[in-house]
Structure 1
């Protein structure tokens, strides 16, 4: 009903021609490029890894073995390796999301209420321009920066902060820094859009009543920014858990990202059924995180999607 109401409003505002075009394009996008691939992946995840000649035959039946393998492996015990990789990926994604939130909230506030319009536009351009560079190239740039002979180690050694080069790659410092930087815009702009709608007079009134800086943000700004914080956190978490290039380039030799497991099942083991099951599990984790954000910040899915 909500979708029909939105389409009716679209027709009323732009006319039947433009409204029909937009409705058809959105429908094709949602059903062909989003829903159908997901349905196909879910269907494949409940199947056996059969050669093409046996597909559709008596052995091609639904099974839960691919999901059972994620939990128990082949020997019946817990699949501690893959469960640990999933846990590490989720925890690392939460840490990156928190880093981005701490870093981006002050920037978004300054853009919305602290800087003059000309300065704000220059700041936005300065944030966007670096992202004209491909994500893979930016990941390699971080690997160079944090390498044993890179800029970070060079400055640290020159200032006497440490006596020997630190292996930031093995310690995953480069990975966390690269992922935090990779999705920083997806945290800034949702928070900026939410804070920008805040009436500046509310902040001035709170100051006139003697409220401290932290109390103004806690009681006035953050409640207004909750949808933006939830939206930004959801997008950063999802893209971090689903990242593949950055973990492969910046991750240490002992750090395996869950997306790398999915990649291995699809491309190295040629087991598309199990790869689909692992991909479905990853999608389910991201959906659960979205619901968690909705509950923590007490916002609806519509507010997150704005």
Structure 2
């Protein structure tokens, strides 16, 4: 509490009381009315029966654990392997997308922070940002066209003789993974860039002068500095990938069901908002638990991510 008060006082002294109050009220409104209250309403829904409108608020409208029990057992009392399997597959896919984004974005962020200068740096930033002016739905459909049976990837591969018949990249989830990796790439690059940018170039030069190889320089010098940025980017990418809906709907194969699609079905096709809310809460809790576990494994605190 003392640290928070000190931060507020420092911000007020620098920017004025009016700006500080405006930002404080805006953040308060955002957190309470757009995050906390909707989540509490969904939690309340998740513990209710799916009743007709005429019975809501009546004697039968009581709290229950049936919606959560259904996720684990289903109606027949056996283990609900289908829904549990879909959740596990979604989390594994989100982890894979996150790891691919880290592998792609780390070198880009490092080059942007310590190698690219002047026009080259500005062109790199523009090249990263401008494609995201296109709507996410349109970008997803672009990837479906790109990896389609008559798309550019199959066309080039067949013309070069790499394969004779079109490959079904949609059914193999190649299009889905590619679309998700691309969709959140900026959320990985800029946190890593902000962390790596603070690194003193002289530390890298000193390590090189002492005979350290490039991989050792990055492992011992750069990565410890970049770790909070990587953790911040990985958290955002993992959470957004696990909660994605548009990309799995458009790019997913016919047999590939994302957990968010399952939630969508409960809300819209089955008109069972109570069970859909329970599934949404389960996804939220599992994702938060997974992220907290990864933070503990990699020894990164929430304060380091916040920086």
Distance 1:106 1:63 in 2: 50
1:294 — aligned with what?
295
Residues in 2 aligned to 1:80 and 1:294: alpha-carbon distance in whole angstroms: 29
TM-score (norm 1): 0.97
2:211 aligned with 1:210: yes
Residues 147-158 of structure 1 aligned to structure 2 (within 5 Å)? 147-158=148-159
Q: Distance in 1 between matches of 2:261 and 2:288?
A: 20
In the alignment, the residues of structure 2 paired with residue 126 and residue 203 of structure 1 have an alpha-carbon distance, to the nearest angstrom, of: 27
**Residue equivalent to 2:114:** 113
Distance in 2 (alpha carbons) for counterparts of 1:8 and 1:293: 34
- Residue 35 (str. 1) matches residue 36 (str. 2): yes
Alignment partners' CA distance in 1, 2:66 and 2:4: 37
Give the aligned partner of residue 87 of structure 1. 88
Are residues 1:263 and 2:264 paired?
yes
Structure 1 runs not aligned, ≥5 long: none
Asked if structure 2 preserves the Cα contact closer than 8 Å seen for 1:234 and 1:289, the reply is no
Q: Offset of 1:244 from its aligned partner?
A: 0.5
Corresponding residue number in structure 2 for 1:14 = 15
Alpha-carbon shift at residue 5 of structure 1 (Å): 4.0
- Answer yes or no: is 1:177 the counterpart of 2:190: no
Cα deviation, residue 52, structure 1: 2.0
Question: By how many angstroms is 1:7 displaced?
Answer: 3.1
What stretches of structure 2 of length at least 5 have no aligned partner? none
Question: Residue in 2 aligned with 1:58?
Answer: 59
TM-score by length of 2: 0.97
C-alpha displacement at 1:206, in angstroms?
A: 0.1
Aligned to 2:236: 235
Relative to structure 1, is the Cα distance of residues 78 and 20 closer, same or farther in structure 2, using a 3 angstrom cutoff?
A: same
C-alpha separation between the residues in 2 aligned to 1:184 and 1:100? Answer: 6
Aligned length: 306
Taking only aligned residues, the RMSD between alpha carbons, in angstroms, comes to: 1.1
Report how far residue 56 of structure 1 moved: 1.5
- Give the deviation of 1:3 after TM superposition: 4.0
- What is the Cα deviation at residue 275 of structure 1? 0.6
Q: Distance in 2 between matches of 1:210 and 1:143?
A: 47
CA distance in 1, matches of 2:277, 2:11: 37
Which stretch has the larger CA shift, 8-17 or 32-41? 8-17
2:223 paired residue number: 222
